[in-house]
A and B are shown apart, each in its own frame.
Chain A
C-alpha cells in the first residue's frame, strides 16, 4: 500500500516570497491534515479536511496561509508571503473512516522542510 506522498522534500526561499506544498494521501482516505512542526516542538494542526470540505482551520494564519483539496484527493498548502518564523517542517497526514469511538489511525508523509531566509 502506497503511503502519503509529499513534495518537495526541501525548500529554501527568501522572506516575502511564495511557496506551495503538495500532498497526495493514501487512496480512499477521506480525512487529510496539514501540520506545522517547528524545530523542537510537536506538530501543530494547521487545517483538517474531510473530503473536500474544511473541518478545522482555527490555527491557520489565514492572512498568509491557504490550503485547498480539490476533488477531495490531493491537497496543496500555500504560504504567501513567507516570514522567517514560517521555517518549519510541514507534514501531511491522512486517515480513513473512524470507528465511531474516535479511533483514528493517522498515516504521515515524510514532510517538507521549509527554510525562510
Chain B
C-alpha cells in the first residue's frame, strides 16, 4: 500500500525566502506525481505534474523534482510571497488512483 508523507507539516517564513517542501513515498512504482495547492475553504489547484520518466518540472517560481529511486519529491518555491500562503499537497498518480500526502501548511509573512 502506497504511503505518502510530507515534511514539515507546517512552515512559517518571512517574505522573500526560498524554501523547500518535501514529499516521501514508499512505493516507487508510480506513473507520475502532482503537487497541489489548497487555499482555506477552497478546493485543490494543480501546480505541477511530473511524469515518472521525468526528473523535474518548472512553472514560474516553482520547481518540482522527482527521485523515484529514493522515493522523494521536492517542491522548491523561490522568492516566496504572502500570496503563496496555503497548504501544499503532493499526490502519487497511478493509472486509476491518486494517493495524497498529508500536506504542508505554509505561511509567508510580509
Docked complex Cα distance between A14 and B99 (Å): 30
Near A by CB (< 8 A), chain B positions 54-110 give 89, 91, 93-103
Q: Is the CB of A103 within 8 A of B51?
A: yes
Q: Which residues from B are CB-within-8-Å of A111?
A: 41-43
Q: Is the CB of B43 within 8 A of A4?
A: yes
Range for the number of chain A residues in contact with chain B: 20 to 34
Instruction: Say whether, besides A41-B102, A98-B95, A105 and B49 are in contact (CB < 8 Å).
Output: yes
Instruction: Say whether, besides A102-B32, A103-B32, A103-B51, A55 and B96 are in contact (CB < 8 Å).
Output: yes
The interface of chain A, by Cβ under 8 A from chain B, is 4, 33, 35, 40-45, 48, 55-56, 91, 93, 98, 101-111, 113
The interface of chain B, by Cβ under 8 A from chain A, is 4, 6, 31-32, 34, 41-46, 49, 51-52, 89, 91, 93-103
